[in-house]
Structure 1
Amino acid sequence: MNTSADDTNSRARALYEARANRLAIAPFTDADPTLEAEDGYAIQRELVGMLLADGDCVVGYKAGLTSEPMQEMFKTRTPDYGPVLASTVRASGAIVPASAFIAPKVEAEIVFRLGRPLRGPGVTVETAREAISEVMAGLEIVDSRIEHWRIRLADTIADLASNGAIVLSQPLALDPEHDHRLTGMVFTRNGDVVATGAGAAALGDPVKVVAWLANTLGRHGVTLKAGHLIMTGALHAAVPMHPGDRFVAEFDRLGPVTLHVGGA
């Protein structure tokens, strides 16, 4: 790590206030280009502590940078992660105000719910599959508290992996015979197709994302709990979100998930 405890705390506080006030801040890596992923996670842990002290709770985790193009953009060979907070979860069909965010974009992805705990190291794809109880279609609203999305790896990690909110369809029991690498998806905005994708875009296999998360978090003493949601990563490039938009992601087998964007 390249930062002191005081620097870590002050940066977490800056992000906490940016979230509360919906006012973006300058990238931390502008002032200190030497910041690395480990520094970002230290800031993230401080920020999460502040949010939990306000009464929020962690109901799962999201993985980001699960596609090769995104990893190349951020000059990393691994995904990143952040918590999913209870206050950010919405049901399909929800009306979400654009004003709740700073610079929101929308991504479609496959979401799992665990039926039993997972703790790394040593979690395999097969072990992860056996721990999953439900699957659902999901939309993630990604948002950056860093101005103009000028983020490097440490910035987005610190900022809860740029998570804003998630919208989920009704869950389905996991079919252990179905290969979710082949789950196709069509994404529309206001009726127009803006993206397509398949489960294989998420680290080659969305179930592999669950194993990766369990092993990565396990190194920090964190267990994925029964009931935790796992956001496995975008299947396409994020699409900007504006007041009045209606987003629908239609998935093979999983059905549709819908988000309406309000103006206030």
Structure 2
Amino acid sequence: MHEEEAEAIAREALETLKRGRQIEPFSLRRPSFTAREAYRVTAALRRLREEDGAASIGRKIGFTNRGIWSEYGVYEPIWGDVYDTTASEIPADGVIRVSHLPEPRIEPEIMFGLADDLRPGMNEREILAALAWVAHGFEIVHSIFPGWRFTVADCIADGGLHGALVVGPRRAIQADEREALFEALPSFAIALHRNGEEADIGKGANVLDGPLSALKHLVEVLGSDDLNPPLRAGELVTTGTLTRAFPVTASEKWSTTLSGIDLPGLAITIG
């Protein structure tokens, strides 16, 4: 794929999202569209967003939950950029607005902040030692392709399906707490509720056997990517949905309860 074609796809994806519209998947027009080519689109999309004034502040990892692969027909993890225009703290009123996103869905996730650069070959304990903080929050994903029908390359070209990231309270990771956190991350449990009723349950191991495993996967993937930058100190990374992803509509109240890890559950209302 030539750079001009990658940029044309990135422009179409971005304009479609800006206008709140949907289009047929790029893979229907370009049947040979591969994930490798789509990451060239990722680089072009990041340039376009930065030209619009956004700053890339981290990454989202998607499809780390193997339990949802068959639902979407995507059988490998993907990643996309997170921007200062898409990420925010949990608002004081608890309301998040997603009406500008096409077919939004909610995903409860574990997020990390990087204190140091991450490099290929690091094991999970080394990665944990390079982290500044951990948090629980929600990613709101979207699809510019009607009915959430796409290929893995389409998902990547749509910015990894990233719409918004809502970060809960950040817990600083102290050196003497690392081992307990290392044990808790794959084993903790989470329940997701919609309007007070349980929608799904999950656990840390759902995301590629644990959030640190998901982060390690991304580090290795970026290590062989000459189009996109490696993970650097100061970035945040959200590691994928711990439960199934659910469509959201205005006025719904979504909440989580966590057990087995020292992180609070969260409650938000869809605006």
Structure 1 gaps of 5+ residues are none
Percent identity among equivalent residues?
A: 27
User: How many Å apart are 1:220 and its aligned residue?
Assistant: 2.5
Provide the rounded CA distance (Å) in 1 between the counterparts of 2:95 and 2:256: 15
Match of 2:118 in 1: 118
Superposition map of 1:1-264 within 5 A: 3-72=1-70, 73-74=72-73, 76=75, 78-93=76-91, 94-120=94-120, 122-174=121-173, 175-176=177-178, 177-178=180-181, 179=183, 180-220=185-225, 222-252=229-259, 253-262=262-271
Whether the 8 Å CA contact 2:255–2:265 is kept in 1: the answer is yes
User: How many Å apart are 1:75 and its aligned residue?
Assistant: 5.2
Provide the rounded CA distance (Å) in 1 between the counterparts of 2:84 and 2:98: 19
CA displacement 1:36-63 (0-9 Å, x = unmatched): 1111111121111100111111111111
The residue type equivalent to 2:186 in the other structure is R
Q: Secondary structure at the match of 1:256?
A: coil
Cα distance, 1:255–1:75 mapped onto 2, change above 3 Å: closer
Provide the rounded CA distance (Å) in 2 between the counterparts of 1:89 and 1:205: 23
User: How many Å apart are 1:11 and its aligned residue?
Assistant: 1.0
Provide the rounded CA distance (Å) in 2 between the counterparts of 1:71 and 1:150: 13
Provide the rounded CA distance (Å) in 1 between the counterparts of 2:27 and 2:211: 30
User: How many Å apart are 1:251 and its aligned residue?
Assistant: 2.0
The residue type equivalent to 2:97 in the other structure is P
Provide the rounded CA distance (Å) in 1 between the counterparts of 2:97 and 2:215: 30
Provide the rounded CA distance (Å) in 2 between the counterparts of 1:98 and 1:112: 23
The residue type equivalent to 2:83 in the other structure is L
User: How many Å apart are 1:149 and its aligned residue?
Assistant: 1.4
CA RMSD of superposed structures (Å): 1.6
TM superposition score normalised by structure 1: 0.92
User: How many Å apart are 1:130 and its aligned residue?
Assistant: 1.1
CA displacement 1:129-149 (0-9 Å, x = unmatched): 111121111111011122221
Q: Secondary structure at the match of 2:144?
A: coil
Provide the rounded CA distance (Å) in 2 between the counterparts of 1:251 and 1:57: 32
User: How many Å apart are 1:71 and its aligned residue?
Assistant: 4.1
Cα distance, 1:181–1:227 mapped onto 2, change above 3 Å: same
Provide the rounded CA distance (Å) in 2 between the counterparts of 1:97 and 1:75: 27
The residue type equivalent to 1:256 in the other structure is G
Whether the 8 Å CA contact 2:190–2:202 is kept in 1: the answer is yes
User: How many Å apart are 1:257 and its aligned residue?
Assistant: 2.1
Name whichever of 4-13 and 129-138 sits farther off: 4-13
Provide the rounded CA distance (Å) in 1 between the counterparts of 2:74 and 2:60: 20
Provide the rounded CA distance (Å) in 2 between the counterparts of 1:143 and 1:194: 19
Provide the rounded CA distance (Å) in 2 between the counterparts of 1:98 and 1:166: 11
Structure 2 gaps of 5+ residues are none
CA displacement 1:104-160 (0-9 Å, x = unmatched): 00011111111211122x122122111112111111101112222111100001111
Provide the rounded CA distance (Å) in 2 between the counterparts of 1:215 and 1:98: 32
